[in-house]
Amino acid sequence: MTPPALSSLLSRAGVALAVAGLFAVTLRSVPGLHPTTHRALDLVLLAIWAVYALHLALELVALRRDPAGPGRFALAVDVAAVALPLMAAALPSGTADAGFFCAVWALKPLRDLPAFRLMVTVVANEWHSMMGVLSLFALVFFLAATTAYLVEGPGQPEAFGSIPRAMWWAVTTLTTTGYGDVVPHTFAGRLLAGAVMMCGIGVFALWAGVLANGFSEEMRKRAFTEIWGLVSSVPLFADLPHRDLAQIVRVLKTRRAAPGAVLCRRGDIGTEMFFLLEGRVRVDSAPPVELGQGQYFGEMALISGAPRLATVTAVTPVMLLTLHASDFQLLIEQNAPLADSIHRTADERRGLRPGPAGGT
Ligand code: CMP
């Protein structure tokens, strides 16, 4: 087996090994384990560590040939998975249990997960807003602890006798965890607790809002970039100014369909038109025609407001861009040359004007 093939095999085995390793780490923590079982679990961890070390070595060798490699985060995870347990094992005996440092393998499944990479990007993008919310949290937390110390401190010195002591109550109340081990006794203290809980809910809602907005913004950006690249293969948009192109890219949606899927049906009301990016479709007009990459259909019902003139079926797997009727109307109102081109094609298809079979 070649080193790249072995490396890719080990990479694929990485998640399964991590699960086995974490299981062993968990079992090792059970008190009263038989020494033989303990030794067997240590051997499992050692074997997994050896596989990870081999994988890392192959990756580092490959990195010299291809500097793009597996990406910085993936490499950092692979280095930590080998280095941390090794460092713990190298410490003087009794200082650290190297086996527990294998818990870092919990990062392995995240290494190649697109959703995790998306989350990291969102956190990086929203860093400033998140720090703003965190500062607000810190401020409310400090004020809550200080006020609780002033109000409850004299009556409950154990729990509120200093600001650091009152901080435990402040954090469990602000996060609305409320263990109930420390509670205010005075009326003013209870009023304070209510206010702190409300603030806690507000701060966490703000935090969730920042992240949710970050996610939707990132998804929108990705969709925009993807569709911008796809739109360039549609000849109809070739001469569109960048400003108009950006506007249409925002409203186009991608869609895939399998062979045999009916994309629009004769007699139906038209709600969208379609641009073919990949594959072929069959229009059951008389005579029937096939349309291919770069061509469009479903425009006639949007222009006339009349029902669909034909049924269009996917012949091969197809990838399409769809444009909703209201966006279509805006587009042709704002762009006369594009409207002319679409009207010309529609006339050719109706046979009112000579032109290439199937239109442009
Ligand atoms: P519409 O009537 O909205 O829905 C069916 C679509 O099939 C139609 O718009 C055209 O886009 C397309 N179509 C109908 N007749 C022809 C034809 N003769 N050649 C190419 N496309 C056609």
Q: Please give the distance, rounded to the nearest whole angstrom, from the Cα atom of residue 297 to the centre of ligand 1.
A: 6
What pLDDT is attached to residue 12?
A: 82
Residue whose Cα lies nearest atom 6 of ligand 1: it is 298
Beta-bridge mates of residue 320:
255, 276
Contact 302, 270 (CB under 8 A): yes
Instruction: Give, for ligand 1, the residue of 274, 312, 324, 332 to mutate: max count of ligand atoms closer than 8 Å to Cβ.
Output: 312
Pocket of ligand 1 (CB under 6 A): 264, 270, 283, 285, 289, 297-301, 308-310, 312, 349, 358-359
Which amino acid, one-letter code, is at 74?
Answer: A
What pLDDT is attached to residue 179?
A: 94
Q: Each residue of 252-263: pLDDT tens digit?
A: 999 999 999 999
Helices (H), the chain: 3-28, 35-65, 72-90, 98-101, 114-125, 127-152, 157-160, 163-174, 187-231, 242-251, 300-304, 325-334, 336-350
Q: Please give the distance, rounded to the nearest whole angstrom, from the Cα atom of residue 315 to the centre of ligand 1.
A: 15
Average pLDDT over residues 45-49: 97
What is the b/e burial string over 176-203, where b = at least 16 CB atoms within 10 angstroms of the residue's CB? eeeeeebebeeeebeebbeebbebbeeb
Residue whose Cα lies nearest atom 21 of ligand 1: it is 358
pLDDT bucket at 5, cuts 50 / 70 / 90: confident
Is it the case that residue 352 has pLDDT exceeding 80?
no
Contact 159, 165 (CB under 8 A): yes
298: left (phi over 0), alpha (psi -120 to 50) or beta: left
Is it the case that residue 132 has pLDDT exceeding 90?
yes
Contact 94, 23 (CB under 8 A): no
Three-state DSSP state, 335: coil
DSSP type of residue 241: -
Q: Please give the distance, rounded to the nearest whole angstrom, from the Cα atom of residue 229 to the centre of ligand 1.
A: 26
Is it the case that residue 141 has pLDDT exceeding 80?
yes
What pLDDT is attached to residue 335?
A: 87
Name the strands in the sheet holding 312-314, side by side, starting at the edge strand that comes first in the sequence.
262-264, 312-314, 281-283, 289-291
Residue whose Cα lies nearest atom 11 of ligand 1: it is 297
Q: Please give the distance, rounded to the nearest whole angstrom, from the Cα atom of residue 225 to the centre of ligand 1.
A: 29
Rounded to whole angstroms, what are the CA distances from 284 to 263, 265, 266, 300, 310? 12, 10, 9, 14, 6
What pLDDT is attached to residue 356?
A: 62
Average pLDDT over residues 286-290: 94
Q: Please give the distance, rounded to the nearest whole angstrom, from the Cα atom of residue 29 to the centre of ligand 1.
A: 69
Return the higher-pLDDT residue of 104 and 66: 104
Q: Each residue of 203-245: pLDDT tens digit?
A: 999 999 999 999 999 999 999 998 998 887 888 888 888 888 8
Is it the case that residue 140 has pLDDT exceeding 80?
yes
What pLDDT is attached to residue 96?
A: 82
Is it the case that residue 69 has pLDDT exceeding 80?
no
Q: Which residue matches tokens 């968990």?
A: 26
Torsion angle of C-alpha atoms 135, 137, 142, 144, degrees rounded to 10: 150
What pLDDT is attached to residue 310?
A: 97
Is it the case that residue 287 has pLDDT exceeding 80?
yes
Q: Please give the distance, rounded to the nearest whole angstrom, from the Cα atom of residue 244 to the centre of ligand 1.
A: 25
Average pLDDT over residues 116-136: 94
Query: Would you say the pTM of this structure is higher than 0.85?
Result: no
What pLDDT is attached to residue 359?
A: 54
Contact 151, 192 (CB under 8 A): yes
Contacts of 274 (CB under 8 A, 6+ apart): 255, 263, 264, 296, 297, 298, 312, 320, 321, 322, 323
Give the ligand 1 atom nearest the CA of 296: 11
Q: Please give the distance, rounded to the nearest whole angstrom, from the Cα atom of residue 335 to the centre of ligand 1.
A: 22
DSSP type of residue 185: -
Average pLDDT over residues 124-144: 96
